[in-house]
Amino acid sequence: MGLNHEVVDVVPAPSFDRRRPRVAIHKFSSCDGCQLALLNLGEGLLDLARQFEFVHFAEFGVVDEDAEADIAIVEGSVSTPHEVERIRAIRARSRYLIALGACATSGGIQALRNLHDAPAWTRAIYAQPQHIETLDRASPLAAFARVDLELWGCPVNAWQLLAVLRDLLSGVAPTISHDKLCQECKRIGATCVMVAQGLPCMGPVTQTGCGVLCPKAGRDCYGCFGPAEHANGAALAAQFGQLGLSAADVARRFGSINSAAEAFAPHAQELRDV
């Protein structure tokens, strides 16, 4: 079972009838950071360009939003009525669809609006709110279209995406580990910042995939890779309380990037009143 509704964990790889399968990379409501992570691959990006044909990738200079694609990679959340139509159209002309990054998999940081009165915020922030066409909620792609694979992270680990694309090219169904970050942290022998420094680390409930970036640097994880399998948010929230965090601070830990992810959302509710 997937970590979000309508997502199936292991979808068989489609068989491509061209030597260089077509890849389209689309942007929805997002900061472009996940696409930049891909651009920063360097040699890896050149390899990709040799193995795949980019038919739409605006950051790469190739623009054809309506192109048919073997693989669509979509960054960003669905936050406007137009984006609802776009994700359905992209799904219809793509054989395999990858949700790229926290915005696309959980709604991202912009889903904080889901906890509040979004129209009231719009009226308070914009001088002419009548020109803003937005939905009251920011949603993951899977709320509106079938998603074949979700890559979490803010930003994603682009090497993880590279491995997925190579799997697809080889006809192998890509799989992503949903193990807890703590498991990888222990395997590489990093010092636990929760035990050693009393920091409120989200590792016990966060999905692996980033290479333990923050604990390796002596910082606590803030959960940007989203919930791990069987995440016990209630137990970690209680532990954060033991460390001295207030209820609002506990909610901020769960509500920073993936507040709308199913396993984090109940513990981010306190942000409604913040």
> Residues in the site for ligand SF4, rule: CB under 6 A?
30-31, 33-34, 75, 101-103, 108-109, 154-155, 181-182, 185-186, 190, 192-194, 201, 203-204, 206, 210, 212-215, 221-225
Instruction: Find the shortest distance in angstroms from Cβ 61 to ligand SF4.
Output: 19
Nearer to ligand SF4, 71 or 236 (CB): 236
Nearer to ligand SF4, 158 or 169 (CB): 158
Q: What are phi and psi of 227, to 5 degrees?
A: -65, 140
The closest alpha carbon to 177, from 199, 158, 196, 160, belongs to 160
Closer residue to ligand SF4, CB minimum distance, 172 or 235: 235
Q: Are 258 and 223 in contact (CB under 8 A)?
A: yes
- Minimum Å gap between C-beta 260 and ligand SF4 is 13
In the complex, minimum distance from the CB of residue 119 to ligand SF4, in angstroms, rounded to a whole number: 23
Query: Smaller CB distance to ligand SF4: residue 21 or 101?
Result: 101
Which residue type occupies 232? Answer: N
d(CA 157, CA 205): 18
Q: Which is nearer to ligand SF4, 31 or 58 (CB)?
A: 31
Cα 231 to chain center, whole Å?
A: 17
Residue number, nearest CB to ligand SF4: 203
Least gap, CB of 87 to ligand SF4 (angstroms):
15
In 3-state terms, what secondary structure has residue 153? Answer: strand
Cα–Cα distances (Å) from 222 to 5, 39, 78, 174, 179, in that order, read 23, 25, 23, 26, 16
User: Which of 210/263 has CB closer to ligand SF4?
Assistant: 210
Q: How far is the CB of 62 from ligand SF4 (least distance, A)?
A: 19
What lies within 8 Å, CB to CB, of 102 at 6+ separation is 108, 109, 152, 153, 154, 224, 225, 226, 257, 258
- Least separation in angstroms between CB 16 and ligand SF4: 27
